[in-house]
C-alpha cells in the first residue's frame, strides 16, 4: 500500500531515544525517505525486562521490515542515543550521517578503554565515544556520506516537507570541537577523566535540534537539550504541533515559558518505565496537563492518570488535517 503521509515512530528503547521518520518521496527506494534519529542504548541490561514492551532499535527495524536508511542523525554523543544507532548501522548502513563535528574528526579519535572509568557515567560516556567513532567508520566503509550539520541547514523531502537544524550554534559547535580535541590530546589519566566528566556534563546542550515541517504540520525534536539550550533560536521556529520534550522529561528539560512559546498539541516524553534519573518528572507532567497538552511516552513510566499499555513503539501520522494523536503499537 502506498504511503501518503508522514509517519513518526518513537521506539520503546527504555531510557533513551530512537525515532524513526518515514516520508513519501518518489525518488527514494520503495518510494519512502527513511531516517533514524538516534538509536537508544546498546546495553543488554536495558532490554532484560521486556514487560513494558522494550525492544532494541535494531530488532525493531528488522521486525518492521525497514529495508533502508537514507539518513541517520546523531543528535549528540551519549550512550542512550548513539550506541544503539551503531548496532543498527551494522544491519542498515545509512546513506548519510548527520552530526555536529567536522566530517573527518572521527579519524583522530583513538579507541578508549571503559575499564579506566571511575564511575558509571564515565563508563557510559567512554562507550558512547567509541560507538560514535565506529558509527562514522561503518558509514564511510559502506559508501555513506558524513555531514557536519550547521545551524540553519535544511534537507528538502517529498512534497513540501523539510528537515531543518536549529542548533547547535556556530559558537557551540566550536566549543564542542575544541573540548573533544583537548580530551583526545590528553595523555595523563587523571586530567583525561576530569575533562571527560566535564564534557559529559555539557554534552546535552550541544544537541542537534531538528525541526520537521510536513503538510503545514511542524515537529520539534531537541535531543537532550535542556530549557536553557534554546537561547538564540527565533521563537517562530520553536512553535510546533508535536514536541519531543528535552532530556527525557527531567525537571530541567522544559519551562512553562518555553512550553508557551512552543505551544504544542501533543508532547512525547522518552522516559523509562522505572523513571530513571527523575525522567518524566511529576512536575513536568503536571505542567503539561495543566496547560491542556496531552503527554505521550515512549516507554511506560507510572503517571497519575493510570497505567500506559505495554508497547513496542508510539506512532504519529503527521499530515494536513490529520489530528496530532499518537497510537501505542504493541
Q: pTM, whole model, 2 decimals?
A: 0.96
**Residue 277 is assigned to a structural domain of this protein:** no
- Please give the torsion angle defined by the CA atoms of residues 64, 217, 204 and 75, in that order, rounded to the nearest 10 degrees: 50
Nearest C-alpha neighbor of 17 from the set 313, 242, 234, 289: 313
How high is the pLDDT of residue 278? 74
CA separation, residue 169 to residues 11, 82, 131, 153, 208 (Å):
28, 21, 24, 11, 9
Contacts of 278 (CB under 8 A, 6+ apart): 250, 251
**Residue 237 is assigned to a structural domain of this protein:** no
What's the domain range around 139? 6-211+305-329
**Residue 250 is assigned to a structural domain of this protein:** no
Is 316 within 8 Å of 242 (Cβ atoms)? yes
**Residue 82 is assigned to a structural domain of this protein:** yes
pLDDT, tens digit only, all 330 positions of the chain: 567 789 999 999 999 999 999 999 888 888 899 999 999 999 999 999 999 999 999 999 999 999 999 999 999 999 999 999 999 999 999 999 999 999 999 999 999 999 999 999 999 999 999 999 999 999 999 999 999 999 999 999 877 899 999 999 999 999 999 999 999 999 999 999 999 999 999 999 999 999 999 999 999 999 999 988 999 899 999 999 999 998 888 888 889 899 999 999 999 999 888 788 777 888 888 899 899 998 999 988 877 666 788 999 999 999 888 889 999 999
Strand partners, 174: none
How high is the pLDDT of residue 252? 84
**Residue 227 is assigned to a structural domain of this protein:** no
How high is the pLDDT of residue 4? 75
How high is the pLDDT of residue 89? 98
Number of domains in the chain: 1
**Residue 295 is assigned to a structural domain of this protein:** no
**Residue 262 is assigned to a structural domain of this protein:** no
Query: What is the number of other CB atoms lying within 10 angstroms of the CB of residue 314?
Result: 24
Phi and psi at residue 291, to the nearest 5°: -95, 5
**Residue 296 is assigned to a structural domain of this protein:** no
Amino acid at each position: 500500500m502506498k504511503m501518503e503521509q508522514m509517519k513518526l515512530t518513537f521506539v520503546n528503547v527504555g531510557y533513551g531515544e530512537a525515532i524513526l521518520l518515514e516520508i513519501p518521496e518518489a525518488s527514494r527506494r520503495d518510494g519512502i525517505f527513511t531516517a533514524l534519529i538516534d538509536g537508544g542504548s546498546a546495553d543488554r541490561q536495558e532490554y532484560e525486562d521486556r514487560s513494558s514492551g522494550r525492544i532494541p532499535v535494531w530488532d525493531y527495524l528488522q521486525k518492521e521490515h525497514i529495508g533502508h536508511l537514507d539518513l541517520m542523525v546523531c543528535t549528540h554523543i551519549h550512550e542512550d542515543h548513539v550506541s544503539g544507532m551503531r548496532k543498527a548501522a551494522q544491519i542498515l548502513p545509512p546513506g548519510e550521517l548527520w552530526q555536529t563535528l567536522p566530517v573527518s574528526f572521527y579519524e583522530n579519535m583513538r579507541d578508549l578503554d571503559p575499564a579506566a572509568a571511575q564511575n558509571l557515567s564515565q563508563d557510559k560516556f567512554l562507550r558512547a565515544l567509541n560507538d560514535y567513532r565506529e558509527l562514522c567508520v561503518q558509514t564511510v566503509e559502506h559508501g555513506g556520506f558524513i555531514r557536519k550539520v550547521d545551524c540553519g541547514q535544511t534537507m528538502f523531502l517529498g512534497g513540501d516537507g523539510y528537515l531543518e537544524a536549529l542548533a547547535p550554534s556556530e559558537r557551540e559547535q566550536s566549543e564542542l570541537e575544541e573540548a573533544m580535541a583537548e580530551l583526545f590530546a590528553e595523555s595523563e589519566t587523571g586530567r583525561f577523566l576530569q575533562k571527560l566528566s566535564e564534557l559529559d556534563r555539557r554534552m546535552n546542550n550541544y544537541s542537534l535540534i531538528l525541526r520537521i515541517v510536513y503538510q503545514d504540520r511542524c515537529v520539534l525534536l531537541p535531543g537532550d537539550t535542556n530549557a536553557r539550550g534554546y537561547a538564540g533560536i527565533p521563537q517562530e521556529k520553536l512553535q510546533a504541533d508535536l514536541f519531543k520534550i528535552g532530556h527525557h522529561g527531567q525537571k530541567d528539560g522544559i519551562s512553562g515559558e518555553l512550553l508557551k512559546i512552543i505551544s504544542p498539541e501533543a508532547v512525547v516524553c522518552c522516559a523509562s518505565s522505572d523513571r530513571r534519573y527523575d525522567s518524566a518528572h511529576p512536575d513536568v507532567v503536571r505542567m503539561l496537563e495543566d496547560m491542556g497538552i496531552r503527554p505521550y511516552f515512549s516507554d511506560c513510566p507510572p503517571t497519575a492518570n493510570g497505567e500506559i499499555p505495554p508497547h513496542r513503539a508510539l506512532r504519529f501520522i503527521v499530515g494536513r488535517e490529520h489530528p496530532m494523536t499518537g497510537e501505542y503499537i504493541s
